[in-house]
Amino acid sequence: MARDLAIVLVSGGLDSAVCLADAARGHDVAVLHLNYGQRTEARELAAFGDLADHYGIERRLVADVGHLREIGGTSLVDASLPVETGLPRQGGPVPSTYVPFRNAHILAVGASWAEVIGARWLYIGAVQEDGSGYPDCRREFFEIFEAAIAAGTRPETNIGIRTPLIGLDKAAIVRRGLELEAPLHLTWSCYTEQEEACGRCESCRLRLRGFAAAGMEDPITYRG
């Protein structure tokens, strides 16, 4: 029986790698990556390529959405804004690393490509429960965006959004990755460095906490 085609949105980070491993179990897979002028753009792109190579994925799209850099408003593209260190607080302010409405841009590109290549699903490794508190990682956002795709595409188009990690904490994501034999050593999560992860930014700290809580050693290299 033919398998549905799924597009997986792959940043190169831990969550997107586990999401890719999940999607690859039951679908033919294409992968999408966005360059938007982020501090670690080259390193994230390399991780994306390594993950796609690992799974032998031929259909790949790297989309340039550099207008997000021009819009600014986030420390991921604006070096004058500090990147928070430490762990985010539940119910605290949205951190400076939030890229305004980024997931809408990612999903819009994914939906356009899906309509052209006949993909049935968009997979995104968004995390609501144990993430940075980004507003575009909430369940209701994806539900509404799925409805927008249905309203704005051809009548015969049927594209669903899947968020398999959205309710998991980082430890559960690490354990899920190990269960799926995801190549976690190929991933990159650091917001500031491209050679050795800083271990201080909130993304590194969330990742390190997840591995520690799962009782596993993080396979990537950190400074010091």
Question: What are the CB-based long-range contacts (under 8 Å, 24+) for 106-109?
Answer: 106/9, 106/32, 106/34, 107/9, 107/145, 107/149, 107/161, 109/32, 109/34, 109/61, 109/63, 109/65
Number of domains within the chain:
1
CATH number for the domain harbouring residue 99: 3.40.50.620
Residues 127-175 have pLDDT tens digits of: 997 667 899 999 999 999 999 999 999 999 999 999 999 999 999 999 9
Question: With contact defined as beta carbons under 8 Å apart, do 171 and 63 qualify?
Answer: no
Is residue 224 in a domain?
A: no
Residues 194-221 have pLDDT tens digits of: 999 999 999 999 999 999 999 999 999 9
Is residue 33 in a domain?
A: yes
Boundaries of domain holding 136: 5-213
Q: How many CB atoms lie within 10 A of CB 197?
A: 24
Is residue 219 in a domain?
A: no
Is residue 96 in a domain?
A: yes
Give residue 130's pLDDT.
Answer: 64
Is residue 153 in a domain?
A: yes
